[in-house]
Amino acid sequence: MTLVVCYKGIDGLVLATDSRGTIGDPRGLTAITDSMVKLFQLSKFVGIVAFGQAELAAQLVQEIKSNLGEQDVYLTPQFLEKVRNTLRTKYSSWFESLPREARPAVGFIIGGIDENGEVKIYYLTSVLDFAPQLDVKGHALGGIPQYATYLTHRLYNPEMTVENLINLAVFVISETATQDPKVGGPIRVAIISKDKGFRELDESRINEVIRKNEEAHKMLREFFFRGRKHER
């Protein structure tokens, strides 16, 4: 399983994923790998994260890339339609012999900047024939979103900057990993800004964010502890 997140800020957006994959029935014994790639760049101003069957999603992204022209750098309606047509065509051709209920589930969150400089986020899932679903909340979550949904509703603010949202994205994935073993492994993060486009953060930057988030956790625990002592 997995957790992928996309947050919209005042100056761009953040895409983040874990790297865990599980093999076997999640209701019983499973094997775990932490080398799955679920974050991809589609153009200078567009990125995509995948959830569901990871290997299938990665192949579908390669198919998308091969069908996109270099001129399609923004998340325009035409760009989105190319993505959807590729997903529908390939997925249907690969699994046409299987009944719909037996086909593997795969989903994507695509985020980017349109030609007017606006941030757009869409869901595309196999369950709904990859019909684009425009996000209107400023945040989109996929995979195992229960804990992340709660944290996002508590902590997300649409006035946050991309720098703020990097911290939040890493936090919700790290926190989910402490509660659900189907989420975990190294975290990958990319930002898409209106001026510089798509940039993926290196491992040292993400580790520094994790360290600072843990320090904030410690301060919160100490705050409650001091309050308890004061009451006595």
Amino acid 27: pLDDT: 59
Residues 42, 69: Cα–Cα separation, whole Å: 10
Q: What are phi and psi of 208, to 5 degrees?
A: -65, -40
Residue whose structure tokens are 């189907």? 182
Amino acid 122: pLDDT: 98
Alpha helices in the chain (DSSP H): 54-67, 77-95, 146-155, 162-179, 203-231
Both tokens of 213, joined, read 């988030």
For residue 21, the one-letter residue type is G
pLDDT in tens, 44-77: 999 999 999 999 999 999 999 999 876 669 999 9
* Domain residue spans of the chain: 3-201, 204-232
DSSP string over 106-156: EEEEEEEE-TTS-EEEEEEEGGGTT--EE--SSEEEEES-HHHHHHHHHH-
Residues 142, 149: Cα–Cα separation, whole Å: 10
| Predicted confidence (pLDDT) at residue 84 exceeds the cutoff of 70 | yes
3-201 is classed in which CATH architecture?
4-Layer Sandwich (3.60)
Amino acid 99: pLDDT: 93
* Of 180, 191, 181, nearest in space to 6 by CA: 191
